[in-house]
Amino acid sequence: MTAQVTTFDHRDAGTARESWRGAPQWQAMPALAPDWLAEHDLVLVVAAHPDDETLGAGGLLARAAADGVRTEVVVLTAGERSHPDSPTHSPERLARLRREELHAAVRALSPRCAAVLLGLPDGEVAAHLDLITAHVVERLRGARRPLVVAPWRGDGHPDHEAAGRAAATAAQRTDADLLEYPVWFWHWGSPTDAPWDVLRALPLRGPERSAKSRAMQAHLTQVAPLSSAPGDEVLLSETFLAHFCDDHEVFVQATPGDTDDTALDDLHHEGREPWGVDERWYEERKRALVLACLPWRDLGDVLEVGCSTGSLAESLAGRAERVLAIDSSPQAVASARRRLQAAPQVRVERRRVPHEWPEGRFDLVVCSEVGYFLSPVELRGLVARVRDSLTAEAVVLLCHWRHPVYGWPLDADAVHTAFVDDLTGDGTARVAVRHVERDVEVVVLATGGWPVADE
């Protein structure tokens, strides 16, 4: 989904509520399934500023609370720059008031809801995407079926676009469902601009509408003038607020995977080697350990999943007939090709696993430092792909860092357990090697024989 940051002024008249309600597509808008929300065990609402959570998803929060679903709200900034020309309210004072308003509004919507303010600078959300993504991922940890509700990435406000992008990345990494709520789009957009094919309505019952109304009034600094002085004018006009006083809320039913998660590619930016594989003794020793755990001198046909800049593929090439090294990062693939240009038996391809899987069967599949950069569903898909690509005398080697991975939900234990449980559970393979240190674990699974010492 392409972000749409546009220029608008909250003081403009904007598109009238009646223009939206009169559109034929509005009348025909599909509704979310009645029980869909209650199927989740956590609803996490992300907002760029206090009041976004109420305007965009206040009714949904009230519905989730009524259905007994656990709710949490994460607000990224205190919105301290809402009145930059105020002669009576400093940014510090506005931040304090808006924090108080947020908690009052959330109590009105979902009394048991946990509301967290990250305290990022208002207007600078885009500078903190990794932090936001990691925070959302951590809050989703342990949820069976979470729902992330975040600002629409096409809302036209830079902070909203950034908040939506970080939330969508977190949803993608955790397999969470994702809804996005427009706020300013209703003001500057028009029915000809709307993504009607993905808009969904959530009908609101009377108690939910009442709770949302109380919550909107709790954001007093936004819905009323700060004073009669110039610069203290009301921020959210009655015309604007009318968009949010309806008998339903409207969401973009988004697909988390339609956002580009560039974190790993950014690590390889401009050919950088992010892990220090050519300088750090830890990496050199780990590479030697991996090679020593492989049972056969001649490795046959090898697939390396997540080759990064190609250092391990280079070592494998000396013992293999053919090596196919794959990675999802264009930067990593370019670096690996440069490193391996003198090794004709090695082919480097850009593929995103498990969706873009190579044909053929392999005598060795290596997954090193890659499994925890997948979502849980993607990991299960990778395991299935590997299982279906093994020869009768194949080896699967897993090597992963044993500490938490910032910004992702999986770790080495989860990755190795998924492979071991699947491949040994049906007798496809057995665990032949398990080497555990403080920082790294290596697991080798074998489908066939294993060398023995010469008699």
Domain C-terminal end among 258, 286, 318? 258
Phi, psi dihedrals of residue 304, rounded to the nearest 5°:
-110, 120
Q: How many domains does the chain have?
A: 2
Q: Are residues 82 and 211 in the same domain?
A: yes
pLDDT tens string 44-99: 999 999 999 999 999 999 999 999 999 999 999 999 999 999 999 999 999 999 99
Whether the Cβ atoms of residue 290 and residue 319 lie closer than 8 Å to each other: no
Domain C-terminal end among 236, 258, 280? 258
Side-chain-side CA neighbours of residue 107 (13 Å):
9
Q: What is the CATH number of the domain that holds 322?
A: 3.40.50.150
Strand, coil or helix: 344: coil
Q: What is the CATH number of the domain that holds 117?
A: 3.40.50.10320
Q: Are residues 251 and 269 in the same domain?
A: no
Alpha carbons 246 and 201: distance in angstroms, whole number: 11
The verdict on residue 45 lying in a domain is yes
Q: Are residues 186 and 291 in the same domain?
A: no
Domain C-terminal end among 232, 258, 284? 258
The closest alpha carbon to 241, from 58, 27, 33, belongs to 58
**pLDDT value, residue 434:** 98
The series of mean pLDDT values per 10 residues for the chain, 455 residues long, is: 64 91 97 95 99 99 97 98 97 98 98 96 98 98 97 97 97 97 97 97 97 98 98 96 96 80 78 81 96 97 97 97 97 95 97 97 98 97 98 98 96 98 97 98 96 71
**pLDDT value, residue 5:** 55
Q: Are residues 400 and 282 in the same domain?
A: yes
Q: How far is CA 179 from the centre of its chain?
A: 13
Sequence-distant (6+) residues with CB within 8 A of 13 are 239
Neighbours of 7 (CB within 10 A): 6
Q: State whether the Cα torsion 436-130-219-243 is positive or negative.
A: negative
Q: Are residues 179 and 290 in the same domain?
A: no
Q: Are residues 407 and 277 in the same domain?
A: yes
Q: In sequence order, what DSSP letters do the residues of 2-47 get, joined into one string? A: --------TTS----HHHHHTSHHHHTPPBPPTTTGGG-SEEEEEE
The closest alpha carbon to 46, from 219, 183, 218, belongs to 183
**pLDDT value, residue 2:** 46
Alpha carbons 95 and 191: distance in angstroms, whole number: 35
Q: State whether the Cα torsion 419-423-426-430 is positive or negative.
A: negative
| Residue 277 structure tokens | 């594989």
**pLDDT value, residue 8:** 78
What's the domain range around 224? 17-258
Alpha carbons 51 and 273: distance in angstroms, whole number: 43
Sequence-distant (6+) residues with CB within 8 A of 62 are 109, 110, 204, 207, 208, 211, 212
Neighbours of 30 (CB within 10 A): 12
